[in-house]
């Protein structure tokens, strides 16, 4: 099984019977399982436990799973697998559009669920294991040595500057909003301090411009920032 340590799964489903059966199965397989029968409680538990993977029903009375997934994506990039009876193509597309990583239609076999969980965890680990990011011919970002080279010259970054650049580079092309950046780089207790992100983005851009004419960090007004090396206009 794919676990180097006990993996935490958050299971959110308003069907109590299904909740208990899945919990019992995953617990027997060595997972730590946290459960919620309402979406709002699921969101609170996600922020509290920082699970490794989230299993999310769609049809719930207080908030549907699509909206819950969108809210999760504002704060974290934990893999989300939808478990639902809604199995039309439109439903599946909507799930992935909301930020889901996988979509399982009920009824399903527990063995399939286990395989899907392990698959998203492997993808997540492979993203985190890469030591050297080479987003362009001009830049080498080594997350193991915590070293940045631009056009062969070392750029000295503070620890938080490096973490911010690494986060953006690992999610190349994806817009990350301020609160997600804050939660990943500074911690959940700093969520809401949007000026802090703005200040660090400005500092990073200024340091990078000293070594290259490429534009690496882009702003989408009202949404956030994304990384994509482009020639400056």
Residue ranges and CATH numbers for the domains of the chain are 8-128 (3.40.50.2300), 130-231 (1.10.10.10)
Residue position matching structure tokens 């070594």 = 211
State the Cα–Cα distance between residues 216 and 151, nearest whole angstrom: 14
What's the pLDDT band for 26 if we cut at 50, 70, 90?
very high
The pTM assigned to this predicted structure is: 0.60
State the average pLDDT over residues 85-98: 84
Average pLDDT over residues 20-46: 95
For the residues 33-44, what does the mean pLDDT come to? Answer: 95
What distance in Å separates the CA atoms of residue 231 and residue 221, rounded to the nearest whole number? 20
- Across-strand partners of 80? 54
Write the CB contacts of 38 (distance below 8 Å, at least 6 apart in sequence): 12, 14, 60, 61, 62, 63
**How confident is the model over 169-225, as pLDDT tens digits?**
888 778 888 988 988 898 877 888 999 999 999 999 999 999 988 889 999 998 899
């Amino acid at each position: 099984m794919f676990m180097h340590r006990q993996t935490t799964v958050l299971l959110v489903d308003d069907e109590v019977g299904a909740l208990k059966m899945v919990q019992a199965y995953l617990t027997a397989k060595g997972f730590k399982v946290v459960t919620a029968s309402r979406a709002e409680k699921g969101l609170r538990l996600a922020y509290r436990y920082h699970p490794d993977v989230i299993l999310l029903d769609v049809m719930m009375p207080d908030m549907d799973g699509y909206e819950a997934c969108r809210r999760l994506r504002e704060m974290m990039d934990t893999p989300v697998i939808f478990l639902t009876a809604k199995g039309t193509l439109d439903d599946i597309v909507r799930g992935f559009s909301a930020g889901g990583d996988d979509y399982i239609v009920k009824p399903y076999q527990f063995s399939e669920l286990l395989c899907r969980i392990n698959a998203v965890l492997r993808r997540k680990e492979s993203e985190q294991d890469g030591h050297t990011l080479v987003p362009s011919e001009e830049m080498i970002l080594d997350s193991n040595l915590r070293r940045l080279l631009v056009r062969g010259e070392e750029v000295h970054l503070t620890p938080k500057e490096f973490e911010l650049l690494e986060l953006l580079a690992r999610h190349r092309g994806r817009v990350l909003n301020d609160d997600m950046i804050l939660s990943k780089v500074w911690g959940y207790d700093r969520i809401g301090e949007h000026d802090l992100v703005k200040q660090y983005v400005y500092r990073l851009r200024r340091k990078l411009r000293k070594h290259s004419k490429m534009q690496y960090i882009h702003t989408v007004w009202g949404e956030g920032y994304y990384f994509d090396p482009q020639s400056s206009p």
